[in-house]
Chain A
Amino acid sequence: MAFETAAVQEPDYLHVRPKHTGIGAWLLTTDHKRIGLMYLYTILTFFACGVFFGFMLRLELLTPGRTVIDPQTYNSFFTLHGVIMIFLVVIPAVPSIFGNFFLPIMIGAKDVFFPRLNLLSWYLYVIGGTLALVSLFLPGGPVDTGWTFYIPYSVRTTTNVVPAISAVFILGFSSILTGVNFITTIHRMRAPGMTWFRMPLFPWSLYATAWVQVLATPIIGITLLLVGIERIFKVGIFDPALGGDPILYQHLFWTYSHPAVYIILLPAMGVISEVIPVFARRTIFGYKFIAYSSIAIAFFGSLVWGHHMFTAGMSDSSMFIFSFLSFLVSIPSAIKVFNWTATLYKGSIALEVPLLYALAFVIHFSIGGFTGLMIGALSIDIHLQDTAFIVGHFHYVMFGGTGFGIFAAAHYWLPKMFGRMYNKKTAIVAFAHIVIGFNLTYFPMFVMGYLGMPRRYYDYLPQFQIYHVISTVGSWILVAGLIMMVVNLIRGMISGPRVGPDPWGGTTLEWTVPTPPPVENFADVPVVTTGAYDYSRYAETTEKEVVL
């Protein structure tokens, strides 16, 4: 998409003289870019809390018996760790930070379709997040149900379940509104010439995600609402003591929460699809297949929730169907992995930090995915369900996948957002720490899980200690790397060297506007004439897609 950079230098979005002044310039803004930044700061804050809890979990597991905290505290810590990481960090992170900021620019729009609704989403997010944290300190004690809130424990325990599920409910609302906003934006606000198949893959993945957000989130909303009502008013819905069925709760919970893992994953996959071609300086391999596979993941992802209930006592036909579909949903992921790898072929590759994270994403997500396949197989999952193996699986996909995707996005786009570059050497050192620490922390979990170490265990048998020690030491390296990375990014954004509009040589629309972007994004409405990844300006030959 060849464009002239906007000639007239409008003030960028960070330096305009806004309608509201002081703090109101942020809290009352409807500029999608500022809202994106507000998400960045708030998510980072909650993320720090989540890391703290995760760190404490690992510390406690260093030795059998008590190391630093008591069992009740441990139980609330893993619950809050799960709730914060899932609902407050990885679900909103990519869409709300980078999606908000770049989706409108990438499709050539001035803002999202409902700017004020967008601001409302942020407020809901903050209220929900605060409520989750406040529940820590309310009388009754922090919630200790696990992030899954399984019935009947969640109606039995005396801890603050109601504040926690209200928090999740509100966060769900926020997520739904973001989804509604993005779908409408993509349908109605694409620039002239920006056809569906000229749209970059990041908007594509956000589009697929948005549908999952819109159609699946209400299920968890209502389910948790009912748990709350059941707790407060003793209405009989799920509680076995009142005749309810504990498995029904699980069905409804996972009906949302499995699709949710693809809400977590898809946007990060979109990031990877952006990063790889830019640093390989060539068009992406199999554009349409990647685009369609996002939709396929979103659709098939809605059909497989039962694989979390293989030991719960489902009917054999359900077991068969859910296991079978779990394998089918893995196909589109496989397609993406192969296309990304193929995109490196005959490129002109610069191994910059974003690409490092992107490649780390592909590898670690694949490991997570492979272990997903193993537990998708019925007999294996019977053995591994609720063991440390599962913990390993989901940290690999969510952190090795989405987490690394977020880091890739941060190193790729933050310079655009703030107009400055971080220190690349430090970034690489931090990357090395993170990768090593990550694998040390989570790989032992596969081993001990297979040996029979259950999850959500405060205490454990002595034969597992060696794995726990490795894992805990790994978490120290991991957190050290993380701190290094964040500090480096923050310093870079404050005082790093300035960068021009297109530091990486990208082709999507966001690189055609000044850095940082002006308030209205585009001086003139852009007119798109080519596909999103048109690298012909670097290449000598272009090979059209070979059709059978």
Chain B
Amino acid sequence: MHENIGKTEHIVEYKTYAYIWMALITFTGVTVIAAGMNLGNWTVFVALAIASIKGLMVMNVFMHLKFEDKVFKIFAMVAFAILMIFLGGTMNDFITIRW
């Protein structure tokens, strides 16, 4: 069924990478500045949100996830969901322990 699928690459232009790189650097600046502001409890969330955006850019463009077959994306979501479950299941104990 899958014999000799061979290459199915998508060639990405240098320009695209350069743009993404600029966006990544900008977000790095933003996250440093945001951390400097006093956002109280939101600090972590803002930092993580920005990191996630950066991460998505790296995955989708640098790692070509965007151009891959649908199963790759499903895989990535499953892996991420499982990690969140592990995190949530553990954190829940520590968050609710004093209730």
Direct A/B contact, Cβ within 8 angstroms: yes
Taking a contact as CB atoms closer than 8 A, the residue among A194, A247, A306, A317 that contacts B99 in the complex is A317
A interface secondary structure, majority: helix
How many A-B pairs fall under 8 Å by CB? 57
Complex contact B92–A315 (CB within 8 A): yes
A31 CA to B90 CA, complexed, in Å: 42
Given A188-B2, A316-B99, A317-B96; 5 other pairs, CB 8 A cutoff: A193-B1, A211-B78, A216-B82, A315-B92, A317-B99
- B11 adjacent to chain A (CB < 8 Å): no
Complex contact A314–B97 (CB within 8 A): yes
Residue pairs across A and B with Cβ atoms less than 8 A apart, 25 shown, are A187-B2, A187-B71, A188-B2, A189-B2, A190-B2, A191-B1, A194-B1, A211-B78, A219-B86, A248-B90, A248-B94, A255-B86, A255-B89, A255-B90, A302-B82, A306-B93, A314-B93, A314-B97, A315-B94, A315-B96, A316-B96, A317-B99, A318-B92, A321-B92, A322-B89
A494 CA to B85 CA, complexed, in Å: 50
A317 CA to B90 CA, complexed, in Å: 12
Please give, as numbers and ranges, the residues of chain A lying within 8 Å of B79 by CB-CB distance. 215
Q: Tell me the B residues contacting A by CB distance below 8 Å.
A: 1-3, 71, 78-79, 82, 85-86, 89-90, 92-99
Complex contact B96–A306 (CB within 8 A): no
- A498 adjacent to chain B (CB < 8 Å): no
Q: Tell me the A residues contacting B by CB distance below 8 Å.
A: 187-194, 211, 215-216, 219, 247-248, 251-252, 255, 302-303, 305-306, 314-318, 321-322, 525
Write the nearest CB–CB distance from A12 to chain B, whole angstroms: 24
Complex contact B85–A318 (CB within 8 A): no
Which chain B residue shows the least CB distance to A195?
Answer: B1
Residue of A247, A306, A315, A525 with most partner-chain B CB within 10 A: A315
Complex contact B1–A190 (CB within 8 A): yes
Write the nearest CB–CB distance from B97 to chain A, whole angstroms: 4
Please give, as numbers and ranges, the residues of chain B lying within 8 Å of A302 by CB-CB distance. 82, 85-86
Taking a contact as CB atoms closer than 8 A, the residue among A252, A303, A315 that contacts B85 in the complex is A303
Complex contact B1–A318 (CB within 8 A): no
A247 CA to B89 CA, complexed, in Å: 13
Which chain B residue shows the least CB distance to A525?
Answer: B3
Residue of B90, B93, B95, B96 with most partner-chain A CB within 10 A: B93
Please give, as numbers and ranges, the residues of chain A lying within 8 Å of B98 by CB-CB distance. 315
Complex contact A315–B99 (CB within 8 A): yes
Please give, as numbers and ranges, the residues of chain B lying within 8 Å of A252 by CB-CB distance. 90
A194 CA to B86 CA, complexed, in Å: 34
A388 CA to B3 CA, complexed, in Å: 53
A216 CA to B86 CA, complexed, in Å: 9
A189 CA to B96 CA, complexed, in Å: 47
A303 CA to B89 CA, complexed, in Å: 8
Write the nearest CB–CB distance from A3 to chain B, whole angstroms: 17
Write the nearest CB–CB distance from B80 to chain A, whole angstroms: 10
Please judge, given known A-B contacts A192-B1, A194-B1, whether A247 and B82 are in contact too, CB under 8 Å: no
Please give, as numbers and ranges, the residues of chain B lying within 8 Å of A305 by CB-CB distance. 89
Please give, as numbers and ranges, the residues of chain B lying within 8 Å of A317 by CB-CB distance. 92, 96, 99
Please give, as numbers and ranges, the residues of chain B lying within 8 Å of A251 by CB-CB distance. 89-90, 93
Please give, as numbers and ranges, the residues of chain B lying within 8 Å of A194 by CB-CB distance. 1
Complex contact B97–A315 (CB within 8 A): yes
A215 CA to B95 CA, complexed, in Å: 25
The 10 A-B pairs of least Cβ separation, nearest first, read A315-B96, A315-B97, A318-B93, A317-B96, A251-B90, A215-B82, A188-B2, A314-B93, A192-B1, A315-B93
